[in-house]
Structure 1
Amino acid sequence: MATPRRRTLLDDDLLARIHARAPQHDAENTFPHADLADLVAAGYLRAAVPTDLGGAGFTLEELAAEQTRLAAAAPATALAVNMHLVVVAMAALLHADGDARTDPILTDAAAGEVFAFGNSEAGNDLVMFDSGTRAEPDGEGGYRYHGTKIFTSLAPVWTRLATFGRDDSDPDRPVLAHGVVTREGTRTLEDWDTLGMRATQSCSTVLDGAHAPADRIYRVLAPGPNADSFTFALFAAFEILVAAVYAGIAARAVELAVASARRRTSRRTGTTYDADPDIRWKVAEAAMAHDGARLEVLALARDVDERADHGARWFAQLVGLKVRTVETARGVVDLALRVGGGASYAAGSEVNRLYRDVLAGIFHPSDEESAHSTIATSVLGPLG
């Protein structure tokens, strides 16, 4: 039986336009407003919204496949929009399981709101399990947030921010309040000037009383690890879609390596480098590594869609996927750089940009240390 063709919202012409703009946004450190407009027009920001709520109803596997294609065209654009997709995909996973507490995210996304992901904080290595941001109860079930979030991708354009903070009003029972705020009570710092992924414009966001009313508070949890379905949905969407972006970078690096091998001619042999056994080995090594990463991303996304039973090892599978995919992508880009020769080292070369962009992957949660700790616990048990 033939495998059904995977759905897509990103046609080749759209991807070509986005690809053509990427060098300028990288060079000028600017946000790709035209890319976002094209993606909105294509319905891409509604891709994960269920059809009954006005979206395309894409599965996590379908969304991951789309993100690999978008990242191959423009990694920074893909990573920027990824954060909107993570928030919406998280809500869609919960909705599919009958949990309506995040449904306002889905209806807002269907109405055209652009979500950013405002969780990271400088120096907070507990990531989602604690926060230095202060969450003050408003007395009506909502919260006002005070603190600074870093790496807020889509900083120039977001209209909704999924964020969280710590409520210590009962010192014996502190809680973490997760909710959605608008731009009111926030301030964007113009502090994004980085080695790579420049077009994401992931500026810091200062929360100065930003308000999430009761109907926009979707979880109140105790600090520390937990088994709440929200935590799983968020980790699954984040780790898989981040991995998809880096799998897309690897895919483009393989294409560039192939093009370089076919274009360059050896003065020694008079033949193009695609006939050189050493170059062929490098290109094959890159393609083999990328194939494995891409298939693993899609397979684990499908497992989430189908609610496969990985038991207590689910989080180990998710964090391991992200770390392996990023490290694989780094290796593939390095091989493409070597195949391309000295021209690859030029500031304007695409593989040079990929080399800088792929490094951002090491900074996304979960980092290597956290991932290894999670995986060690899953196979060896907890310390002590």
Structure 2
Amino acid sequence: MSTTPENPTPETLLHDQLLERIRERACGYDRDNAFFTEDLAELSEAGYLRALVPTELGGLGWSFADAVRGQMRLAAAAPATALAVNMHLVWTGVAKVLRDRGDDTLDFVLREAGAGEIFGFGISEAGNDLMLFGSRTVAEPQAGGGYRYTGRKIFTSLSPAWTRLGTMGLDTASDDAPKIVYGFIDREDPDVRSLDDWDTMGMRASQSRTTVLDGAFAAADRIVRRLDPGPNADPLIFGIFANFELLLASVYAGIGDRALELAVAAAHRRTSMKNGGAALSQDPDIRWRIADAALAQEAITPQLLAIARDLDELVDHGSFWFAKLVGVKVRATETAKHVVDQAVRVSGGSSYFAGSELGRLYRDVLAGIFHPSDDESAHSTVANAWLGPLES
């Protein structure tokens, strides 16, 4: 990909000056539990939200490998900003997965994202461990093929800013019910409410609030799938799963990268009175911790990029696709936790202060354990891929 203003790479679009401004704002957003309004404006102006939209539809035409590199860079500057932007990129990525495979179902997402619309991800529900394979939200069929959704969606990142919300619910009323119905609703719908209930340990700027649907309407041309509940081989499910896991892993890989940088800087900055004022970079124990973190962290990026390239190149991993995707998510999040922990130990008590960047990374990285697929679900998926399903 050439480096021109019309066709930027992740490194030229997310240039160092832009990322430094984003990094400088992150502490204030975290302290004030505020949405990343200025970050979003700069990223939108730069075209970052159009990264995965084809050039002919007004986008940058990036590959998934490009998006991985971009999200790692952004997360190293401001994890909460990257995590929230992820949810928009997921939907444009799903649309790209389908379009690359000859399915134009979500081309309207690409067209509208290319025109500046922002997509939210309204899928998660409290107590729903079935995730994509079941729903507590009611999807009520309407005359003409539309649906009204009634339920609560949690962890809706970009809550103050999304203009379109991709969601799903369970239709139990149609003749062929039950069906999981996926559709898109508009921000202007009077039957959509966003609660001001986001007050968390970390990832605060994402403002991933609860969304209440009180009969929110998705028109017939915005209903994109009606699927049987339970595991499903539909390309939409694959697209959601692939993009969510891959882009999520990229965010946490970026956190790990930044934590390692901060640990190295701290080792050079801090000194030891026991060793006559020598820098801690000369202490064997500190050197071991940084080497341990680096050994773990350096394995993540090559795997992320390999899986992204396979997605770009339509590689057929068959039943192992889901195992690979959950594997990279778990490895990226668990590695990031380990690297941040080592960095905190290297940096000392200063990282315990609320305004410390490393202290914020320590809080932000914990969110990784809550995103699907969790550790238990991932192990089940991998076991099924290698051993087959449990015998009944």
Does residue 185 of structure 2 align to residue 181 of structure 1? yes
Unaligned runs of at least 5 residues, structure 2? none
Q: Secondary structure at the match of 1:176?
A: strand
Q: How far apart are the structure 1 equivalents of 2:127 and 2:351?
A: 35
Count the aligned residue pairs.
382
Q: How far apart are the structure 2 equivalents of 1:171 and 1:118?
A: 26
After superposition, residues 26-105 of structure 1 pair within 5 angstroms as: 26-105=30-109
Q: CA deviation at 1:182?
A: 0.6
Q: Secondary structure at the match of 1:156?
A: coil
Which one-letter code corresponds to 1:375 in the other structure? V
Does residue 9 of structure 2 align to residue 7 of structure 1? yes
Q: Which residue in 1 is equivalent to 2:26?
A: 22
Larger mean CA deviation between 206-215 and 63-72 belongs to 206-215
Are the equivalent residues in 1 in contact too, given 2:141–2:174 (CA < 8 A)? Answer: no
Which one-letter code corresponds to 2:222 in the other structure? R
Change over 3 Å in CA distance of 1:299–1:4 after alignment to 2: farther
Which one-letter code corresponds to 1:306 in the other structure? E
Larger mean CA deviation between 74-83 and 211-220 belongs to 211-220
Q: Which residue in 2 is equivalent to 1:222?
A: 228
Which one-letter code corresponds to 1:311 in the other structure? G
Root-mean-square deviation (Å): 1.3
Q: Secondary structure at the match of 1:286?
A: helix
Q: Which residue in 2 is equivalent to 1:154?
A: 158
Q: How far apart are the structure 2 equivalents of 1:348 and 1:170?
A: 54
Q: 1:272 aligns with which of 265, 268, 279?
A: 279
Q: CA deviation at 1:282?
A: 0.9
Which one-letter code corresponds to 1:330 in the other structure? K
Q: How far apart are the structure 2 equivalents of 1:34 and 1:4?
A: 28
Q: Secondary structure at the match of 1:49?
A: coil
Are the equivalent residues in 1 in contact too, given 2:185–2:217 (CA < 8 A)? Answer: yes
Q: Secondary structure at the match of 1:83?
A: helix
Q: How far apart are the structure 2 equivalents of 1:70 and 1:124?
A: 30
Q: CA deviation at 1:171?
A: 6.9
Which one-letter code corresponds to 1:144 in the other structure? R
Any idea what the Cα deviations from partners look like across 1:42-87, whole Å, max 9, x if unmatched? 0000010011211001111100110000000000000010100001
Identical aligned pairs, as a percentage?
59
Q: CA deviation at 1:316?
A: 0.7
Q: How far apart are the structure 2 equivalents of 1:40 and 1:173?
A: 41
Q: CA deviation at 1:172?
A: 6.1
Q: Which residue in 2 is equivalent to 1:231?
A: 237
Q: Which residue in 2 is equivalent to 1:347?
A: 354
Q: Which residue in 2 is equivalent to 1:254?
A: 260
Q: CA deviation at 1:283?
A: 0.9
Q: How far apart are the structure 2 equivalents of 1:118 and 1:352?
A: 30
Any idea what the Cα deviations from partners look like across 1:87-123, whole Å, max 9, x if unmatched? 1111011111110111111111011001110000000
Q: 1:293 aligns with which of 300, 323, 343?
A: 300
Which one-letter code corresponds to 1:189 in the other structure? L
Moved over 3 A (4+): 3-6
Q: Secondary structure at the match of 2:202?
A: coil
Q: How far apart are the structure 2 equivalents of 1:302 and 1:4?
A: 18
Q: Which residue in 2 is equivalent to 1:200?
A: 206
Q: CA deviation at 1:380?
A: 1.2
Q: Which residue in 1 is equivalent to 2:291?
A: 284
Does residue 113 of structure 2 align to residue 109 of structure 1? yes
Q: How far apart are the structure 2 equivalents of 1:211 and 1:65?
A: 36
TM-score (norm 2): 0.95
Q: How far apart are the structure 1 equivalents of 2:101 and 2:55?
A: 15
Q: Secondary structure at the match of 2:225?
A: strand
Q: How far apart are the structure 1 equivalents of 2:248 and 2:320?
A: 19
Unaligned runs of at least 5 residues, structure 1? none
Does residue 147 of structure 2 align to residue 140 of structure 1? no
Does residue 376 of structure 2 align to residue 369 of structure 1? yes
Q: How far apart are the structure 1 equivalents of 2:201 and 2:95?
A: 32
Which one-letter code corresponds to 1:40 in the other structure? S
Q: Which residue in 2 is equivalent to 1:121?
A: 125
Q: Secondary structure at the match of 2:95?
A: helix
Q: How far apart are the structure 2 equivalents of 1:223 and 1:77?
A: 33
TM-score (norm 1): 0.97
Which one-letter code corresponds to 1:307 in the other structure? L
Q: How far apart are the structure 1 equivalents of 2:367 and 2:200?
A: 9
Q: Secondary structure at the match of 2:278?
A: coil
Q: Which residue in 2 is equivalent to 1:356?
A: 363
Q: 1:335 aligns with which of 312, 329, 342?
A: 342
